[in-house]
Every structure is written in structure tokens, then in C-alpha cells.
Amino acid sequence: MVKLPEKHSLSWVVFLAVLFVSTVLSFFILALLLRTPIGGENLGGFALLGIIVSLAITIGGYLGARIYFITALIFDGIATAYMLFIAANQTAEGWSDLVGVISYLFTLGIGLIIGILLQLFWRIRKLKKEVPK
């Protein structure tokens, strides 16, 4: 199992880079599955979405929100798998690319919200234990 770095560690840049590359790669796989031509606009869009997603996930870990990071990372995996499932099965004929990306973003958004809530609940619980009676 991978040990997460301490908060404010520059080791989080490695997580950021790996997550960026895996996100961009998943969008390339989506385009290949759908036999969509990949042009300059696509590359820019893939890179932009990749950096936004990887920053949104790793910023929590960098700031010390480990529960948020782990939850968001799990949901990123689920969202990626769901997006590729939609593309592979072409469940929305002619719209699979758009439906896949929107499903990815929606599922990831739910994961980010759940991660924030879990991190807040954990922090509140920890603060209540620290308060002397």
C-alpha cells in the first residue's frame, strides 16, 4: 500500500502528475473507443480537464485532508470506469462521448462532495474529543 506524504510536502506533486497523466490517458482511451479523431482542440480539452481534476483531488491531500483525498481518488476511479463502460458499450448511440464525459464529471463531483463532507465530519468529531469537559 502506498503511504501518503505529509501535508505541505512536495511529494504531492508526484501524485498530481500521476493523476494528470492517468486522467488524460483515460480521455484518449475514450476517444479511441469511440473512434473519434483527436485534434488540437481535443488535446487542449483533455489537458485542461486533466489538470482541473488532478488539482481538485490532490489539493486536499496537500492541505492534510487525507480522507477527502482517498474518497476523491476512489470516486475518480469509479467515474473513469463508468465513462469507459459507456464508451465501450455505446449506450447512448451517437452521444457516447458527451454522455461519458458528463457522467465522469458528475460522478467525480459527487465524490468530491462526499469527500469534503467525510473530512468535515471527521474533523468535527476529532475536535469534540479534544474539548475538555
pLDDT tens track, the chain, 133 positions: 678 888 889 999 999 999 999 999 999 999 999 888 888 888 999 999 999 999 999 999 999 999 999 999 999 999 999 999 999 988 777 788 889 999 999 999 999 999 999 999 999 999 888 877 6
Q: How many CB atoms lie within 10 A of CB 84?
A: 16
Quote the pLDDT of residue 1.
62
Q: Closest Cα partner for 7 from 65, 72, 53? A: 65
Quote the pLDDT of residue 128.
87
Torsions phi, psi for 32 (to 5 deg) = -70, -40
Amino acid at 65: A
Q: What is the DSSP letter of 33?
A: H
Q: d(Cα 110, Cα 4) in Å, to the nearest integer?
A: 23
